A and B are shown apart, each in its own frame.
Chain A
């Protein structure tokens, strides 16, 4: 009999597991896939290592910082800043027609760019900053104020509004068109006020640290152990049944599989709440180059682009929306020394674009393969309007679509940021079944780790 059974060995599940194992619970994490990581995983293809999901970690603050989400999660997990081996970004940019705003881990750069490109908005931007800094994310009273409306109270120039929303939506908003002011403030802080960083070894380093810690504390991790059903009796979950028929008993279950995905496991006749599903999903092209992007003149860590004055954050009518995108170059971080690892990729360019799940889902196998090729080209064509054309330097490519995400993570429609309405308290209709991860609260690596920690703290520790 486990004290807690955790579904999913992604960031939130592993973080929750560490908290519970540290306080001497008997914990088992069940992962359906052959490996850990979920939406932030890693793989090896034709001799090269790649990250899934990770462009950069947000919320990066320098070592010794006591406040903020990163400091909080390091304390809660009893992990040192050094263990995550994070290097800061070199600098990123937001590019719209005729305007480019650079930003890095010091807000002063963005302020000076705005003073240059939007001089009339300089003071307005400072007022916006003050309002954002004031927002208290641990004591949040759920107000559902429109971020677009709120930001428009400060910033008059609609182009600047669009440019500020673009990176925050991509990194990320589960809701189309707008976000609530609380979410906007949190994302703004994560990306512009705190910053972006990455371990040179990628997300696998973080995941391996988390697993090592979890197991070291006595936690059990079972891979290839998908949950088929939750055993429910008298309004309580008493355990799980795995796909292979094995039964595991637990006093409570914490699921990171997603809200609807978890509800389907209950099958106890309870009608599922009419909660909207997440619909925002992506395609991503990955190109391994024979040269460092900076040697082609590309030093930007992340480039967020949009080819008109209006940014569209919605499910596209086309298979992919090439009007906008995120160009990530994982080499463009301030790494301490280059790895002398024969597996290191000299240069990688990753381009992400919004995609239409239904379209990709509806293709037969042959059409799917052809469409991947076609859209690889179209996405790359779109991106090289904003970065040096790297196409002649490509050694190998890979691409994922919304169906790839579903296949490896089980998250409905490949919605990496989950449902637009989050289940903030993590509760379900069953008194000992809880949810964590993207459908509970914050997104991204730091967000989901904190989600796992806080749901474990709130629901699984206080006996």
Chain B
């Protein structure tokens, strides 16, 4: 997947986790938690959804990389570049 496609995937995952949130104004450089009502359980779901949808395994120590959209896409690029976006 390209960076843009990875970003789309992450947006879809965020939509499924927090359907009431308005994601259209998301600032990629700012931490998710500062813009959205996400708690630690929701963050776990981002990890779990990536595993469920794309079999991407993220070790617990790396969760910190998922703080913002930019950092998330950067982190996921090497892991997801070979995956086809359906």
The answer to whether residues A66 and B37 also contact, given A75-B42, A457-B44, A462-B60 and a CB cut-off of 8 A, is yes
Complex contacts, A67 vs chain B, CB 8 Å: 37
**What are 16 A-B pairs at a CB distance below 8 A?**
A23-B48, A23-B51, A66-B20, A67-B37, A72-B39, A72-B41, A75-B17, A75-B18, A75-B41, A75-B42, A76-B41, A78-B16, A138-B39, A453-B41, A457-B44, A462-B44
Chain B proximity of A452: nearest CB distance (Å): 12
Interface membership of B52, Cβ < 8 A: yes
Q: How far is the CA of A461 from the CA of B52 in the complex (A)?
A: 11
Residue count of chain B within 8 Å CB distance of chain A: 16
Residue of B nearest to A462 (CB): B60
Interface membership of A401, Cβ < 8 A: no
Chain A proximity of B57: nearest CB distance (Å): 8
A461 B39 Cβ-Cβ under 8 A:
no
Query: A-B pairs with the 8 shortest C-beta distances?
Result: A66-B37, A23-B48, A457-B44, A23-B52, A76-B41, A66-B20, A67-B37, A457-B41
Interface residues of A (CB under 8 A from B): 23-24, 64, 66-67, 71-72, 75-76, 78, 138, 453-454, 457, 461-462
Q: How far is the CA of A454 from the CA of B21 in the complex (A)?
A: 22
Q: How far is the CA of A457 from the CA of B43 in the complex (A)?
A: 11
Interface positions, chain B 13-27, Cβ under 8 Å from A, are 16-18, 20-21
Q: How far is the CA of A71 from the CA of B41 in the complex (A)?
A: 12
B20 A64 Cβ-Cβ under 8 A:
yes
Q: How far is the CA of A76 from the CA of B44 in the complex (A)?
A: 10
Interface membership of B40, Cβ < 8 A: yes
A461 B48 Cβ-Cβ under 8 A:
yes
Q: How far is the CA of A23 from the CA of B51 in the complex (A)?
A: 9
Chain B proximity of A4: nearest CB distance (Å): 14
Interface membership of B5, Cβ < 8 A: no
Complex contacts, B48 vs chain A, CB 8 Å: 23, 461
B45 A76 Cβ-Cβ under 8 A:
yes
Q: How far is the CA of A24 from the CA of B48 in the complex (A)?
A: 10
Q: How far is the CA of A71 from the CA of B37 in the complex (A)?
A: 10
Q: How far is the CA of A24 from the CA of B44 in the complex (A)?
A: 15
Q: How far is the CA of A71 from the CA of B39 in the complex (A)?
A: 11
Interface positions, chain B 24-57, Cβ under 8 Å from A, are 37, 39-42, 44-45, 48, 51-52
Q: How far is the CA of A454 from the CA of B52 in the complex (A)?
A: 19
Chain B proximity of A207: nearest CB distance (Å): 22
Complex contacts, A461 vs chain B, CB 8 Å: 44, 48
Residue of B nearest to A64 (CB): B20
Residue of B nearest to A453 (CB): B41
The residue in B16, B20, B60 that gathers the most chain A C-beta atoms within 10 A of its C-beta is B20
The answer to whether residues A454 and B41 also contact, given A24-B52, A75-B18 and a CB cut-off of 8 A, is yes
Q: How far is the CA of A56 from the CA of B45 in the complex (A)?
A: 29
Chain A proximity of B74: nearest CB distance (Å): 23
Q: How far is the CA of A72 from the CA of B20 in the complex (A)?
A: 12
